[in-house]
Amino acid sequence: MILAIGLLLAAAPARSELRFSNRPEVFLNDFDLTLQAVLLGAIPPSFHESLKSGIPTHIRFYIELWKYNGRFWPNERLHARTVERQLTYNVVTKEYKVVSTAGEQQEPYVTKDLREAQRVASEIRGLKLGPASALDPSGLYFVQVKADVSLSGVNSFLARLTGDADQTDWIRSDLLTPLRSQ
């Protein structure tokens, strides 16, 4: 038992340097609140062999819309959403396929280039968070985003310890208000 724990602790976890490129960008486009975020290092080199042997890689984004209530009052979470994508490799056709499995409607994307598949799987572009009319025009709001990457969709403490999963910390957007001034 002690030997098994020692071997797990001695195993080198995948240092994927998983992080977001910048703060998430939130826009008020056509009366909708939309989000853009880019995850860097989504497919670490240690995942390549598993991916090519048929084990899918899952990328999850956890997105929360919050209302800022001031410095000394607790903030109020208005909306939470999870977007999950799956990256698989077809050994016969030698193609990568990115499929959205939860949180968004997107056509499957197929390519022969791993870098292109990683780019498509790790970018959130124009994700609608909801109508701007539902927000208080004079209120302040922010969005928090967190991501995790795992083999076969398992993100547990043991999976992170052995290098089969990794996750980022929460990052916050700048404060925004739906009130437009011209």
| Rg, the chain, Cα only | 19
Distance CA 52, CA 164 (A): 15
Cβ partners under 8 Å of residue 125, min gap 6: 36
Share of the chain above pLDDT 90, in %: 23
- Convert the pLDDT of each residue in 165-182 to its tens digit: 788 889 998 888 877 544
Q: What is the residue extent of each domain of the chain?
A: 12-172
Give the pLDDT score at 7: 45
Give the pLDDT score at 152: 75
- Residue type present at position 123: E
- Convert the pLDDT of each residue in 47-106 to its tens digit: 888 888 888 899 999 999 999 888 888 988 999 999 999 999 988 898 999 999 888 888
For the cut 60, the answer to whether the pLDDT of residue 44 exceeds it is yes
For the cut 80, the answer to whether the pLDDT of residue 162 exceeds it is no
H or E element, residue 64 = strand 57-68
Regarding pTM above 0.85, the answer is no
Share of the chain above pLDDT 70, in %: 87
- Residue type present at position 81: R
